[in-house]
Amino acid sequence: MGARLEECFSDSLSLGPEVEIKTALARLPARRGLVLFADDRNRPIQLLICADIRRTARARLIRTTQPSARKTDISVLCKTVYYTPQNSEFACRLLYHRLCHQFFEDRFSELVLLPVPCFVKLDRDAKLPYFSIAENPLSKENVAVFGPFISRKHAVAFAEALNEAFGLCRNPDCLSTGRYESCPYLQMKTCPGPCRDEKPPDSYRRAVQEALDAAAGNSQKYIQSKKQQMQQAAANLEYEKARRFRDQFNSLKELEKSDYHLIRPLEQFCWLHIDRIVGPRKSLSFCAFLITAEQTIELDSFNLDQTEVFLEKLSTFSVAASKTNPTQMKEHLATVCLFLYRNRRPGVWFECSGNRYPDPNSLKRLLSEAFDDTKNNNRHPIPPEKR
């Protein structure tokens, strides 16, 4: 256990009976990072993610006259303090999750509270492809998966909007039972009934392709098309048809909500996260992470003068295939959601789907502004481009 702890942390501090604890803890760095308290047999007691390692250790190990009833006193048990400073809050969170799995696997769900991301899928090989909810982020061949959604409610609304807007099947129970005539959409004549045909018509297949395009972030052109069709039908006094186009128009407008600006096909999911490395204020240097749907890759650090070289390497960087299982992938995406769905994300975040990286001059300017201490705006991240 001792070797494992030493391998997992960058440094440690022993607290023997002859050690004056306040003096010893003063040697800890006053930086963001992880701290683990171990007992006399070098067994983990508590692992914490903290904004200030020294302050957290002092709060947990120096006794006060009025101890908190909400915190367990570990000062008697702790004999060694292990710690690892981190520059990025995102990197700190990833390390915390990994160590929780390693040392507290049976209590992981208690120690790590993650959102439960949800996904939307469409099986192109189905008789009548349609959008439905998926719990598993891993896609099979010819199955498109979109996400991650921060909640099931958002995923359901996204799928329903696409099915409604493009006339895809909204009653899949009929497909499994074969009782097509009992479908309420067919009875209300809001669906042409492609399920009754042996093969779906070409118009349905075209609608599926258009729906996939809209789901991938290209909904604006279909919104304009539905608006024109609605106006044309109204001008021709075809009010029932105009009402149907209006409903489809309103469904497509739902996709323009900010809740869905981050949604992409998972195979295209790619973000670049950059944060500042603690160091001299006059010399800005950065740590960077490339985040895909399956994994996070830590890239080489760089400074402002090396921005062009960094982006040149990034443009030629190839992501190796990952052996991530569905549970690991879902946990990874849940961790990413903790940051992507914040109003104020730490550091800066760039959406890079389709290898769309910022140009060197823009990146240099944005990083200078985002981490300019004189403007005190280093906690105001750069928002992603609207789709």
User: pLDDT category, 356, cuts 50, 70, 90?
Assistant: confident
Cα 272-276-282 angle, rounded to 5 deg? 140
Q: For the residues 128-135, what does the mean pLDDT come to? A: 92
304 vs 189: which has the higher pLDDT: 304
263 vs 139: which has the higher pLDDT: 263
Distance CA(351)–CA(340), nearest Å, equals: 10
What pLDDT score does 158 carry?
Answer: 96
What pLDDT score does 3 carry?
Answer: 47
Q: How many CB atoms lie within 10 A of CB 248?
A: 22
Q: For the residues 263-268, what does the mean pLDDT come to? A: 91
* Predicted model pTM: 0.85
Distance CA(168)–CA(175), nearest Å, equals: 12
73 vs 32: which has the higher pLDDT: 32
User: pLDDT category, 375, cuts 50, 70, 90?
Assistant: low
Q: Percent of the chain beyond pLDDT 70?
A: 90
Q: What is the mean pLDDT of the chain?
A: 86
N-to-C CA span, the chain:
49
Share of the chain residues as helix, strand and coil, in percent rounded to the nearest 5: 40, 20, 40
Q: With a cut of 80, say whether residue 341 has pLDDT above it.
A: yes
Q: With a cut of 70, say whether residue 65 has pLDDT above it.
A: no
Q: For the residues 126-138, what does the mean pLDDT come to? A: 90
Distance CA(165)–CA(159), nearest Å, equals: 10
Looking up tokens 């009025």, which residue turns up? 66
What pLDDT score does 382 carry?
Answer: 42
What pLDDT score does 93 carry?
Answer: 95
183 vs 377: which has the higher pLDDT: 183
User: Domain segments of the chain: what residues?
Assistant: 2-111, 118-260, 269-370
Q: With a cut of 90, say whether residue 136 has pLDDT above it.
A: no
Q: With a cut of 80, say whether residue 67 has pLDDT above it.
A: no
Selected from 3.40.50.720, 3.40.50.300, 1.20.1370.20, 3.40.1440.10, the CATH number assigned to the domain covering 2-111 reads 3.40.1440.10
User: pLDDT category, 381, cuts 50, 70, 90?
Assistant: very low
Q: With a cut of 60, say whether residue 383 has pLDDT above it.
A: no
Q: For the residues 277-288, what does the mean pLDDT come to? A: 80
Distance CA(190)–CA(193), nearest Å, equals: 9
260 vs 197: which has the higher pLDDT: 260
Distance CA(41)–CA(157), nearest Å, equals: 53
